Amino acid sequence: MRPTQDPRPLAVVTGASSGIGEKMAVAFARRGFDLVVVARRADRLTALQTLITSTCGVDVECVAADLASRAGLALVQQALADRDVDVLVNNAGAGWIGTFAEAPMERQLEIIDVNCRSLIGLTQAVLPGLLQRRRGRVVQIASVAGFMPGPRSSVYYASKAFVVSHSEALRHELADSGVTVTLVCPGPVATEFQRSSGVRGTMGGAALMSDVAVAEASVEAALAGRFLVVPGFANRLLVALSALLPRRLTAALVDRLQRKRQEAGADDV
């Protein structure tokens, strides 16, 4: 039993059943954090719990919840209500490729509920505790998509723009509070996300980054209290270019790239 006067810090990671979230959970555990891991697939969370507890010797609580639903969000909020959270990672995310007119409405609303609604609901749930203790990290996993309009994935891109805008404002509001915000904006990463959102290929043929590399960069930045993380030189260039180009031209370029990814996906599924 560990001494009560020296509790381990606690990191909460949503979308920890695969990809970037899973690797971030491992990265925090290796740094001595206890964990609350959240996703729908309970079997994956349990497997992660077994791996982490046996290799890192920290405690892992699994919360199986659908963050697209009000009940699922409430379940996670309840699980965190009596915990002293040190780090919240809002990583769970959903996407879809296809034009707005052809995309299933349920899926579009699910993207908003997971990528935006649950992120706000969890951030606001833990913030009073962080502010009271005058320390803590909020980590929002957005995307380079948050900096540009995204034809053929318009709701996903807009959801990430929401996260970028909200994080920039929250960072300002929290200045000098002891609580930091880290905004992570990866480019294409090799995870299950490609398959679940019907995407193949990358933006302009750039190599997919590994989820481990993105997770490590994100955890390091969060613990150092840095605000913006865009992993990979090509992705930083993309973000810089998108700030310079007219939005209409960027939309046309993204449309071309997304069309290719959509066609590749249709061939592959």
**Contacting residue, 12, 20, 127, 203, with ligand NAP by CB under 6 A:** 20
Rounded CA-CA distance 92/20 in Å is: 9
* Residue with Cβ nearer ligand NAP (9 or 93): 93
Beta bridge partners of 87: 11, 137
Closest approach of Cβ 37 to ligand NAP, in Å?
9
Residues 47-76 contacting ligand NAP, CB under 6 A: 66-68
* Residue with Cβ nearer ligand NAP (67 or 103): 67
The verdict on whether 156 is a catalytic residue reads yes
Angle at 121 between CA 120 and CA 122, to 5 degrees: 95
Work out whether 256 is an interface residue with ligand NAP (CB under 6 A).
no
Closest approach of Cβ 7 to ligand NAP, in Å?
27
Work out whether 198 is an interface residue with ligand NAP (CB under 6 A).
no
Q: Which of 156, 157, 162, 193 is catalytic?
A: 156
CA dist 191 to 5, 51, 222, Å? 39, 19, 21
Nearest one of 18, 55, 63, 57 to 36, comparing CA atoms? 63
Rounded CA-CA distance 247/26 in Å is: 38
The region of 79-87, 184-192, 224-232, 248-256 touching ligand NAP under the rule CB under 6 A is 184-192
Work out whether 188 is an interface residue with ligand NAP (CB under 6 A).
yes
Tokens encoding 65: 């919840």
Work out whether 99 is an interface residue with ligand NAP (CB under 6 A).
no
Nearest one of 82, 30, 92 to 60, comparing CA atoms? 30
The region of 34-42, 97-105, 171-179, 229-237 touching ligand NAP under the rule CB under 6 A is 34-42
Rounded CA-CA distance 103/97 in Å is: 8
Tokens encoding 118: 């649950």
Residue 23 CB contacts under 8 Å (≥ 6 apart), including other chains: 211, 212, 214, 215, 216
Work out whether 231 is an interface residue with ligand NAP (CB under 6 A).
no
Beta bridge partners of 77: none
* Residue with Cβ nearer ligand NAP (86 or 211): 211
Work out whether 94 is an interface residue with ligand NAP (CB under 6 A).
yes
CA distance between the termini of the chain: 49
Interface contacts to ligand NAP, rule CB under 6 A = 15-21, 39-41, 44, 66-68, 91-95, 114, 141, 143, 186, 188-189, 191-193, 196, 211
Residues involved in catalysis: 156
